[in-house]
Chain A
Amino acid sequence: MGMPRLRQAYTPHPVVDRSPADLRAYIEGADPVSGRPFMQEVLEGLTAPLDAADLQGLSFERTTPRLVEPDTEDNLQRLFEQNHWTDCLPVVLPTEARVEAMLKGTSHSPDTIVGRLRPTVFRESWEFTVEKVAVNAVMAGARPEYLPVILALAASGITARSSSTTSFATITVINGPIRNEITMNSGIGAMGPYNHANATIGRAYGLLSQNLQGGSVPGDTYMGSSGNWYAYTAVLPEAEERSPWQPLHVQKGFEPVESIASVFLGGWYTHAGYGPRATWKEKMRHALAAVEQYSPPLFVMDPIVARGFVNLGFDTKEKLIAWCADNALLTAREYWDNQSIQLLRPKAVAGIEPYASRLKAHPDDAIKIYEPSDINIVVAGGETQGAWKMISGALRATVSIDAWR
């Protein structure tokens, strides 16, 4: 921030889940960092005179080296783990030869700036090049032909290592010709762990996020309370050839021949079901009411399920999505009591729809908790079962893979 002398006062943690009396005790108590009374720190911060250093601020340059000091393979594996540069699984060490081979997967020069990432919106963004992305792709075990996909994810601006206390993960859907070119799996075991491209692209997205954004270190640049298993890797291609519906990327306005990565932020919950069976509406209503309402659903439907819905008259994804939006209901009381939904209250107060109408509703009224645009469906699976998954996932970015070939 350039303000090393910014006046700060600390209370104990957490503030979450503490009573008013607890919080008043924090305020009346000592700053756990300085040991001095908290309010004395606050009042001095407001009134104590500034000195020359306060008025000057502090400017400086930082950088990271291109190469690590030479060492043995064992020592480097240990160094990468100790530096929080891995996901705590062994990595492929990014030797110069391996990175050079990886770079053959794109036409872009190694020093091309790909983008910027940060663990959360109030932190600084770090910048990175094609070469730095390739380094992380090597570490994940990816092959050069996957690099355009990995570069697209790096360019999305969405980190796969959000520091949110709620433990987000990203889920990525791949559409278009690239799926078959790199033999991704949208069939049996599409969600893993049975395909090299699916697995390593997702892992690369995680590794590049934590390393290129300036870290993902628990208690520092990562604050997710429970963590998230989806964060190891979560990438699947849509089974476009076996789906009765438009592919996701075409729904979003792209041409079928374009290769597109869609990045969803979520991974909080996973519901599952079969069918559509005779009681599918009840099942779906229960599932939709049980979601964490701040994070809308991404459906992954086996082709058997998709064809079943077509037979029921849902001949487009949009029709089924509209039904889900009409039937995702909670009482206003339950909706607004949600911790994360509280973050939307100022929008509602400001009159922004649909939040304003949700706030105006009587607490016992059932309100729709999603707009159709919040909900997405992709088709994947091996047709060994009519199974569907409902995964927490808000669409945050759709990015061109072709731009990084």
Chain B
Amino acid sequence: MGQQITVHDPRGYPPKVVGKRLAPRLSALDGKTIYLVDCLFDNSDVFMEQLRQWFHDRLPSVNVRTIRPQETWSDDAQMRKAIASDGDAAILGVGL
């Protein structure tokens, strides 16, 4: 058994996690407007178009619109305002 030594932990400090409540859910989707938020990653536009077509084919009573932020990886306040103004719900596409 070698000599024991004490060393520093090299990690930084994570932020406090602040709880947020989820937004109210819809009771039904018929006649509602749902935004599909395209994250602008490679091929995400193709994925979102397929998702839009799925709703068109399977749930035509739902009004589905695709929307994109002006810039990827940034909080687009205008986009959020557009969704809040005439949307009932949003599906965010996130990933690779």
Residues of A whose CB lies within 8 Å of any CB of B are 1-3, 5-7, 11, 13-18, 20, 23-24, 26-28, 39, 42-43, 46-50, 54-68, 70-74, 76, 80, 85, 93-96, 99, 117, 120-122, 124-128, 131-132, 135-136, 138-139, 165, 207-208, 211-214, 223, 339, 342-343, 345-347, 350
CA distance A139 to B7 in the complex (A): 11
Across the interface, A347 reaches (CB within 8 A) one of B21, B28, B51, B70, namely B70
A165 neighbours in B (Cβ, 8 Å):
96
A18 and B22: CB pair below 8 A? Answer: no
| B34-52 with Cβ < 8 A to chain A | 34, 40-44, 46-47, 49-51
Q: B29 contacts A63, CB within 8 Å?
A: no
Q: Which residues of B contact A (CB under 8 A)?
A: 1-22, 24-29, 34, 40-44, 46-47, 49-51, 53-54, 58, 68-74, 89, 91, 94-96
Q: How far is the CA of A5 from the CA of B20 in the complex (A)?
A: 10
Contacts of B72 in A (CB 8 A): 343, 346
Could you say which residues of chain A place their CB within 8 Å of the CB of B29?
43, 46-47
Contact of B8 among A58, A121, A135 (CB under 8 A): A135
Q: What are the residues of chain B within 8 A of A132 when measuring CB–CB?
A: 8, 10-13
**Do the beta carbons of A47 and B9 come within 8 Å of each other?**
no
Tell me which of A76, A121, A339 contacts B7 (CB under 8 A). Answer: A76
Residue among A28, A70, A211, A343 making CB contact with B12, cutoff 8 Å: A211
Given contacts A3-B20, A85-B10, 8 further A-B contacts (CB under 8 A): A55-B22, A60-B16, A60-B17, A64-B14, A65-B9, A72-B4, A73-B2, A165-B96
Give Cα distance in the complex from A2 to B15, angstroms: 11
Contact A27 B51 (CB under 8 A): yes
Tell me the smallest distance from the CB of B35 to a CB of chain A, in Å: 11
| B22–A3 touching, CB < 8 Å | yes
Contact, CB under 8 Å: A223 / B21: no
Q: How near does chain A come to B8, taking the closest CB pair, in angstroms?
A: 4
Q: Please, could you name 22 A-B residue pairs with CB atoms under 8 Å apart, sorted by A?
A: A2-B20, A11-B47, A17-B42, A24-B53, A42-B91, A43-B29, A55-B22, A59-B19, A62-B16, A64-B11, A64-B14, A68-B6, A76-B5, A94-B7, A95-B7, A126-B12, A127-B12, A127-B15, A128-B12, A132-B10, A223-B96, A342-B40
B54 to chain A, nearest CB (A): 5
Complex partner residue of A6 from B22, B58, B95, CB under 8 angstroms: B22
Contact of A136 among B10, B13, B44, B69 (CB under 8 A): B10
Considering the chains assembled together, what is the distance between the CA atoms of A126 and B71 in angstroms?
Answer: 24
**Smallest Cβ distance from B19 to chain A, in angstroms?**
3
* Cβ contact of A211, chosen from B6, B10, B47, cutoff 8 A: B10
6 smallest beta-carbon distances between A and B, as pairs:
A57-B19, A212-B12, A128-B12, A72-B2, A126-B12, A59-B19
CB neighbours (8 Å) of B8 from chain A are 66-68, 94-96, 99, 131-132, 135, 138
Known: A13-B96, A47-B28. Is A54-B13 also a contact (CB below 8 A)? Answer: no
Report the separation of the CA atoms of residues A56 and B7 in the bound assembly, to the nearest whole angstrom. Answer: 40
Q: Which residues of A contact B73 (CB under 8 A)?
A: 120-122
Please measure, in the bound complex, the distance between the C-alpha atom of A120 and the C-alpha atom of B4, giving whole angstroms. Answer: 37
Q: Is the CB of A46 within 8 A of B89?
A: yes
A124 with B15, Cβ < 8 A, contacts A49-B25, A342-B40, A346-B70 known: yes
Question: Are A1 and B10 neighbours in the complex by a CB distance under 8 Å?
Answer: no
Q: Please, which residues of chain B bring their CB within 8 A of the CB of A117?
A: 12
Complex alpha-carbon distance, A342 and B96, angstroms: 14
Interface pair A20/B4, CB less than 8 Å apart:
no
The answer to whether B27 and A47 touch across the interface, beta carbons within 8 angstroms, is yes
Q: Assess the A24–B96 pair: CB atoms within 8 A.
A: no
Shortest CB-to-CB span from B46 to chain A, Å, is: 6
Contacts A1-B17, A60-B17 given; indicate if A214 touches B12 (C-beta within 8 A). Answer: yes
